[in-house]
Structure formats: structure tokens, C-alpha cells
């Protein structure tokens, strides 16, 4: 799954990691594990927004490049290099992690470092 980073329309230093390609749908749906109603968005890589400040996004990019993990309130990444898997979540809100390959995560890390100001 190709990923991208989007700047919030409401805050110049708030960023969201999303699917690069999706059908841009929003609406109510049933949570995949809890069975409750929730607001759904096709761009989410997890069952919740993986979002944070520019500093947090740059730390996520650094963790990907170093094949490590980092965790903040609303964004986290864990890199499983031996399994060619990277997991993203919102520790505060996610119950299902989003996953991609190392190559896809490396592309995202490069995009973050090129896009998010220091």
C-alpha cells in the first residue's frame, strides 16, 4: 500500500499519514473488531487517523530509516525488518494496525523528510 502524508487544513503543524490511493469516501460504518458504529474514511491506514506534529512525523521517518520504533499519543510506528513489515497506529485510538512493506515505508520516510519542515 503506497502511503502519503497530508497537512491538516486546520493546523499548519499537524500531519496525517494516509493511503496515497483510495476512493476518498467518508461515512458511518461498523468497526472491524469492536462491532460499534464509527466514522470511516477510506484514506486511513489504521482504524483511526495516524496523526501528529511535524516533529513527531520526522521522528517516525527517522525510526523507519533506522529500522526501529517510536510512539507518541496519536502516531506510532514499529518496523519488523526481518519480516519486511512496518506497522502504523494511533496508540490513543487504534485497535487495528495499518501495515505496509519496508520499501513502501522507506518511500513514506523520504516523503516526510522532504515535505515536513524542521
Quote the pLDDT of residue 6. 96
CA 43 to chain centre: 10
Q: HSE-up of 42 (CA within 13 Å, CB side)?
A: 7
pTM more than 0.85: yes
| Under-50 pLDDT residues of the chain | none
Domain span at 91: 3-115
Domain count, the chain: 1
The answer to whether residues 66 and 46 touch, using CB atoms and an 8 Å cutoff, is no
Quote the pLDDT of residue 83. 94
Quote the pLDDT of residue 107. 98
Amino acid at each position: 500500500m503506497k502511503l502519503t502524508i497530508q497537512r491538516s487544513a486546520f493546523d499548519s503543524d499537524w500531519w496525517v499519514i494516509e493511503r496515497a490511493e483510495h476512493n476518498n469516501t467518508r461515512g458511518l460504518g461498523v468497526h472491524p473488531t469492536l462491532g460499534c458504529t464509527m466514522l470511516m474514511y477510506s484514506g486511513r491506514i489504521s482504524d483511526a487517523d495516524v496523526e501528529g506534529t511535524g516533529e513527531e512525523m520526522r521522528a517516525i521517518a527517522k525510526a523507519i530509516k533506522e529500522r526501529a520504533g517510536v510512539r507518541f499519543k496519536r502516531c506510532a510506528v514499529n518496523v519488523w525488518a526481518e519480516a519486511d513489515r512496518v506497522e502504523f497506529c494511533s496508540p490513543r485510538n487504534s485497535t487495528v494496525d495499518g501495515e505496509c512493506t519496508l520499501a513502501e515505508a522507506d518511500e513514506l520516510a523520504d516523503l516526510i523528510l522532504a515535505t515536513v519542515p524542521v
